[in-house]
Amino acid sequence: MTATTDGGEILPDSSTIITYIHREVWQASVMKRRQALRTTEPLKMANTAPITTAPTAEWEKNLETITKKLAAFTSWRNSPPHLIITFLRNI
């Protein structure tokens, strides 16, 4: 700060003072939030290996059934028209 001839101090502009106060309040609130987060106990991860489950026999049985039904459903259908025309041209 600038001093006068009699030893008094000349304050900076109001905007400078308000900016300084705003910055200090913001930093204080950030520090307060950090302290609040540090006081909470961190989550502890279990040291066990992750559990992976193999598909159940019932699920595999259902998948096999659906596959067979789909194969039976589509096997009786005719070939697509563009393949039939190509086949007839080659005869």
CA atoms within 13 A on the CB side of 10: 6
Q: What confidence tens digit (pLDDT) does each residue in 18-71 have?
A: 999 999 999 999 999 888 888 767 677 777 777 777 778 888 889 899 888 887
What are the Cα distances from residue 90, in Å, to 52, 67, 77, 84, 87?
54, 34, 22, 10, 5
Euclidean distance between CA atoms 68 and 28, whole angstroms: 68
Q: What confidence tens digit (pLDDT) does each residue in 7-16 have?
A: 778 888 899 9
Euclidean distance between CA atoms 80 and 77, whole angstroms: 9
pTM confidence score: 0.34
Euclidean distance between CA atoms 24 and 16, whole angstroms: 12
